[in-house]
Amino acid sequence: MPDRQPARTLLLATHNAGKLRELRRLIGADWALVAPGEAGLDHLRVVESGATYRENAALKARAFADASGLPALADDSGLEVEALAGAPGIRSARYAGAGATAAANRARLLAALEGVPAEGRKARYRALVAVALPRQSRVWCTEGIVTGSIASDERGSEGFGYDPLFELPDGRRMAELTMDEKNRISHRARALQAAAPLLARVLTEPSR
């Protein structure tokens, strides 16, 4: 058999430890995956000034690709609750204020939904994945969605963010899934599955 081609390096443009773990599992072995700290970019923080997930993901991918000289993959994701007109949406990570913990965000969400019956608590997770190459203006984006509802209490110890509150159609919380189970159905998994042909195409391009 011919020797396996060496992996290309892909920078994962996030400082979120939970996202890094998921992305490493989801993307697989075709890339040598690098976290910002491993590329000397612990200091790089991108202001998420976009009005949409797509804009925020693109901002992060572009900034990290240009700063590192490597292909970069970023995502922006959020929780959209029907009864809250789509909130917290792009503010999901800071729903309870700048620098809020995940627990504080969940507490605010429960407070906002107090008194809302189960049938009114429909929700969905949405993720946009963006891929950028250094010194190229174009950014490629793909989307993934998973639907469910917001429970009135927390359950499960896996995952991160709103996972203990996000109830799937089968009654389980996202935080009760194993990593392998989550990686088959999550919004981020679906966005990355849609991005797979793009990543394969980038793999064939000459290294810069």
66 is catalytic: no
Distinct helix (H) and strand (E) counts, the chain = 5, 6
Which one is catalytic: 30, 42, 75, 76? 76
User: Are the C-beta atoms of 158 and 168 separated by less than 8 Å?
Assistant: no
- What is the number of residues in the chain? 208
62: which residues sit within 8 A by CB, 6+ positions away? 72, 130, 132, 139
CA angle at 36 for the pair 5 and 87, rounded to the nearest 5°: 115
Residue 71 contacts residue 11 (beta carbons within 8 Å): yes
The two tokens of residue 103 are 């627990």
Distance CA 144, CA 186 (A): 8
In the structure encoding, which two tokens stand for residue 34, read together? 């690098």
The CA distance from 19 to 134, in Å, is 22
In Å, how far from its chain's centre is CA 114? Answer: 27
Q: Tokens standing for 2?
A: 């011919």
List residues with catalytic annotation.
76
